[in-house]
Chains A and B, each alone.
Chain A
Amino acid sequence: MEYLLETQEVVKQYANHLALDHVSIQVPEGQIFGLLGPNGAGKTTLIRIINRITAPDSGSVLFNGRPSVQDDIYQIGYLPEERGLYKKMKVGEQAIYLAQLKGLSYQEAKKRLQAWFEKFDIMPWWNKKLEELSKGMQQKVQFIITVVHEPKLLILDEPFSGFDPVNAELLKLEILELKDKGHTIIFSTHNMGSVEEICDHIALINHSHVVLKGSVQEVREQFKSYQYALRVKQGPETLPVLNSALFEEQGRKELTGGELEIRIKKQKDVSNSELLRQLAGQLDIISFQEEIPSMHDIFIQVVANHPLTSTDHE
């Protein structure tokens, strides 16, 4: 697989704590990469190193397969978590200014920005001061500024915070469209629901270490616990506890309408069809579902096993 960005054994030491300890991640080209982790894990430090805002103490960052250089920042668009713009400056003027700082010419910046402003329905605010805009509109401006120079790599840190559900949906579609156009996106968030929806790969950082990485599919596979939820029709007599060589029962719950929900755990090497064949012989099955853990559960499981100590902070 082609990696647009790689970090290799990156270490960053601050005065009294180690922010990153031999962190290696690989971001595949053209995909959405979720950078996850609790507060203070070191995500922001890693993002700053990728953006060349700070330099690692050791280790290296590869961009396009070669060591990253200062000019690579023209290929990166960064939407910080804590974002702000010049309050007293006119929106259009400052968007052009920031686009110029990313290497666009004045004319090109203006042309592209006007197209984006039209698309997001905020053209009437072009000549307004930023402080006159609503928070949602400011967020849109922020997003436009991040993508206007059409960077190969987009780094979005909590992009959905501050958006209402309607605009969040709009933004999500925009992000997926950018992916379709071939942009690579690093997506940092706490919102695990959105990770499952849009991420292809993830890396989970905790305690300055990468504790989990891979495609979302792989990670969930890795954490599955071979549990199944069965819904069955209950007969006239009470069902005995289900146990066999293939699986064991974990618990049951009566539902309305004479239905029963049973949770079972199968043996690792038993296939689903084998399991189903045996169950079908005994029970009148309404539904049969493998319980794959959500990213949310995985996150909590991994992070809760290694709680942060008080000395770690960003």
Chain B
Amino acid sequence: MSKLGLIIKREYLQRVSKKSFLLLTFLAPVLFAAMVFVPLWLATLKSDEVKNIVVLDQVGKYAAAFKNTDEYRFLPAEGDMEEYRKSEDKEIEAFLSISDDLLTHPEAATLYSKKQIPMGLKREVNNQLSAMLEQEKLDSYQIPDLKQIIDDCKVSFDIQTVKWEDDGSESSSSAEVMTAIGFVSTFVIYMFILMYGSMVMQGVMEEKTNRIVELMVSSVKPFDLMMGKIVGIGMVGLTQVFLWGILTVVLVSGSLFLFGGDATQTADLMMSSNMNQAAMMTSTDPTVLKIQDIIHSIPIATLGINFLLYFIGGYILYASLFAAIGSAINQPEDANQFMTPMMIFILFGFYAGIYSVENPDGPLAFWCSLIPFTSPIVMMVRLPYDIPLWEHILSLVLLFVAAYGCVWISGKIYRTGILMYGKKPSIAELIRWIKYKA
């Protein structure tokens, strides 16, 4: 086995066999789902305690119309407002006073409490009163069955979107699903560049600070050492994406089995296991047939290959720069100065990606999908929208040329940096290192 192969093998096996890797790989999707669903679930929990609201209705037609809910019980007042104000009764949450006809005097209703009135209570009272007044108003028109007529007029519309293919055929498309796929890929690439890029940096720093590097470079070329680390860690990243993919499929088929093949739920689950936003963006009630159509319309193979290409290009580009930083510094605190410009690029790419979702053919999306530092993140949003072939090729060529350049420059900095101890180098020194003869 070549030396580069040996290094890649070590970097890969050391990381993949760690417990933390397995834990992250299998628990992260679960944790992620939990992170989204637990707050939602908590918010839907109601407290067991039923709160009493006393209603003092001087008009006489409202108090009886209040409906009790799981949370609130409406009680007619026994006595006047002053009595309740002085009362020490902890059972009473709030006091609602209605002193006049609300259709003519909407300001005549007031809600009192000894505590700050919670939003939920205010909303409940508003809703119930609005419904009563609406009904009262409708009744005042004296038109029979008016309620049904109005209900009948409410229309929910969801337009079908169809893409004309070049070969003349038509296919259903779904802007929501495309957006979701683009968003998920962007997010995954962004996350992996950050996660695995900094893993490369830590690895380089570890070798430098524990001084094994001096021994290593007497056996292998520094460039091989750096590339071995970048490739090995990159493969760890791909392994993780691959395992997450399998996990998603398993979850989906598992849910298919559980829910008896309900396609709607399956689709929702598939989205949520990747990225919850996706599920939120998808239309809520498509028919089974439509979902299948849309799934068929997603160019899975094309997207998959492009995901890999942009993932690899973007990762190599950033990871090599991370390696150069790791080699140049002596302690983690020194990293900030060099990390900041890179973080700005990555974050900029991420936000450009998010805004490009809205307008995948706009100038921001166009330029950011060509610039190599942002293209891996931004292009994934645009890809589902069939961008011109030349743009696609140009973007890939630029990305890989830039990645090659970054590897070259980083190799030079790395070669000198790993053997330099002492003070933190300045940018000028880094540039001088690039020019050193091997």
A residues at B contact (CB < 8 Å): 15, 48, 51, 53-55, 57, 73, 76, 78, 80, 82-89, 97-98, 100-102, 145
Beyond A51-B217, A83-B215, list 16 extra A-B contacts (CB 8 Å).
A53-B419, A55-B437, A73-B218, A80-B211, A80-B215, A80-B218, A82-B214, A83-B214, A84-B211, A84-B212, A85-B210, A85-B215, A87-B210, A97-B10, A101-B220, A102-B219
Question: Do residues A80 and B214 form an inter-chain contact, with CB atoms below 8 A?
Answer: yes
B438 contact set on A, CB distance < 8 A: 54-55
- Chain A's interface: helix, strand, loop or mixed, by majority? loop
Task: Flag whether B432 is at the interface (Cβ < 8 A).
Answer: yes
- Chain B's interface: helix, strand, loop or mixed, by majority? helix
Nearest-CB residue, chain B, relative to A106: B1
| A98 to B211 alpha-carbon distance, docked (Å) | 14
Task: Flag whether B3 is at the interface (Cβ < 8 A).
Answer: yes
Could you tell me which residues of chain B, from 1 to 21, have a CB within 8 Å of some CB in chain A?
Answer: 1, 3, 6-7, 10, 14
B7 contact set on A, CB distance < 8 A: 101
Could you tell me which residues of chain B, from 414 to 438, have a CB within 8 Å of some CB in chain A?
Answer: 419, 429, 432, 437-438
B219 contact set on A, CB distance < 8 A: 73, 98, 101-102
B38 contact set on A, CB distance < 8 A: none
Contact of A98 among B214, B215, B222 (CB under 8 A): B215
B3 contact set on A, CB distance < 8 A: 101
A-B contact pairs, 6 of them (CB 8 A): A15-B432, A78-B215, A84-B210, A84-B215, A101-B3, A101-B216
Instruction: Say how far A148's CB is from chain B's closest CB, in angstroms.
Output: 12
A101 contact set on B, CB distance < 8 A: 3, 6-7, 216, 219-220
Question: Do residues A97 and B214 form an inter-chain contact, with CB atoms below 8 A?
Answer: no
Instruction: Say how far A94's CB is from chain B's closest CB, in angstroms.
Output: 9
Instruction: Say how far A246's CB is from chain B's closest CB, in angstroms.
Output: 55
Nearest-CB residue, chain B, relative to A51: B218
Nearest-CB residue, chain B, relative to A101: B219
Question: Do residues B211 and A82 form an inter-chain contact, with CB atoms below 8 A?
Answer: yes
Question: Do residues A78 and B6 form an inter-chain contact, with CB atoms below 8 A?
Answer: no
Could you tell me which residues of chain B, from 199 to 223, have a CB within 8 Å of some CB in chain A?
Answer: 210-212, 214-220, 222
B419 contact set on A, CB distance < 8 A: 48, 53-54
- Contact flags B221-259 to A (C-beta < 8 A → 1, else 0): 010000000000000000000000000000000000000
The 6 closest A-B pairs by CB, nearest first: A84-B211, A84-B210, A80-B214, A101-B219, A78-B218, A51-B218
Instruction: Say how far A192's CB is from chain B's closest CB, in angstroms.
Output: 24
A86 contact set on B, CB distance < 8 A: 210, 212
Instruction: Say how far B248's CB is from chain A's closest CB, in angstroms.
Output: 31
Question: Do residues B437 and A57 form an inter-chain contact, with CB atoms below 8 A?
Answer: yes
Nearest-CB residue, chain B, relative to A313: B422
Q: Which bucket holds chain B's interface residue count?
A: 20 to 34
A88 contact set on B, CB distance < 8 A: 14
| A62 to B216 alpha-carbon distance, docked (Å) | 22
B residues at A contact (CB < 8 Å): 1, 3, 6-7, 10, 14, 210-212, 214-220, 222, 419, 429, 432, 437-438
Nearest-CB residue, chain A, relative to B209: A84
Nearest-CB residue, chain B, relative to A149: B219
B215 contact set on A, CB distance < 8 A: 78, 80, 83-85, 98, 145
A85 contact set on B, CB distance < 8 A: 210, 212, 215
B222 contact set on A, CB distance < 8 A: 53
Nearest-CB residue, chain A, relative to B14: A89
Instruction: Say how far A117's CB is from chain B's closest CB, in angstroms.
Output: 18
A145 contact set on B, CB distance < 8 A: 215
Nearest-CB residue, chain A, relative to B438: A55
Nearest-CB residue, chain A, relative to B213: A84
| A78 to B219 alpha-carbon distance, docked (Å) | 9
| A221 to B392 alpha-carbon distance, docked (Å) | 77
Question: Do residues B429 and A15 form an inter-chain contact, with CB atoms below 8 A?
Answer: yes
Q: Which of A55, A86, A87 has the most CB of B within 10 A?
A: A86
A15 contact set on B, CB distance < 8 A: 429, 432
Instruction: Say how far B328's CB is from chain A's closest CB, in angstroms.
Output: 14
A57 contact set on B, CB distance < 8 A: 437
B211 contact set on A, CB distance < 8 A: 80, 82-84
Instruction: Say how far B422's CB is from chain A's closest CB, in angstroms.
Output: 8
B212 contact set on A, CB distance < 8 A: 83-86
B437 contact set on A, CB distance < 8 A: 55, 57
| A217 to B46 alpha-carbon distance, docked (Å) | 94
| A140 to B196 alpha-carbon distance, docked (Å) | 35
| A83 to B217 alpha-carbon distance, docked (Å) | 12
B10 contact set on A, CB distance < 8 A: 97
Instruction: Say how far A238's CB is from chain B's closest CB, in angstroms.
Output: 62
Instruction: Say how far B4's CB is from chain A's closest CB, in angstroms.
Output: 10
Q: Which of A78, A84, A88, A89 has the most CB of B within 10 A?
A: A84
| A87 to B367 alpha-carbon distance, docked (Å) | 46
| A88 to B210 alpha-carbon distance, docked (Å) | 11
Nearest-CB residue, chain B, relative to A79: B215
Nearest-CB residue, chain A, relative to B208: A84
B1 contact set on A, CB distance < 8 A: 100
| A80 to B212 alpha-carbon distance, docked (Å) | 9
Instruction: Say how far A84's CB is from chain B's closest CB, in angstroms.
Output: 4
A98 contact set on B, CB distance < 8 A: 215, 219
A102 contact set on B, CB distance < 8 A: 219
Q: Which of B7, B212, B216, B419 has the most CB of A within 10 A?
A: B212
| A281 to B217 alpha-carbon distance, docked (Å) | 66
Question: Do residues B217 and A53 form an inter-chain contact, with CB atoms below 8 A?
Answer: yes
Question: Do residues B14 and A76 form an inter-chain contact, with CB atoms below 8 A?
Answer: no
Instruction: Say how far B17's CB is from chain A's closest CB, in angstroms.
Output: 11
Nearest-CB residue, chain B, relative to A47: B218
Instruction: Say how far B377's CB is from chain A's closest CB, in angstroms.
Output: 32
B432 contact set on A, CB distance < 8 A: 15
Nearest-CB residue, chain B, relative to A15: B432
| A249 to B212 alpha-carbon distance, docked (Å) | 56
| A208 to B35 alpha-carbon distance, docked (Å) | 62
Instruction: Say how far B113's CB is from chain A's closest CB, in angstroms.
Output: 60
Nearest-CB residue, chain A, relative to B437: A55
Instruction: Say how far A150's CB is from chain B's closest CB, in angstroms.
Output: 15
Instruction: Say how far B354's CB is from chain A's closest CB, in angstroms.
Output: 38
Instruction: Say how far A85's CB is from chain B's closest CB, in angstroms.
Output: 5
Instruction: Say how far A104's CB is from chain B's closest CB, in angstroms.
Output: 11
Q: Which of B216, B218, B429, B437 has the most CB of A within 10 A?
A: B218
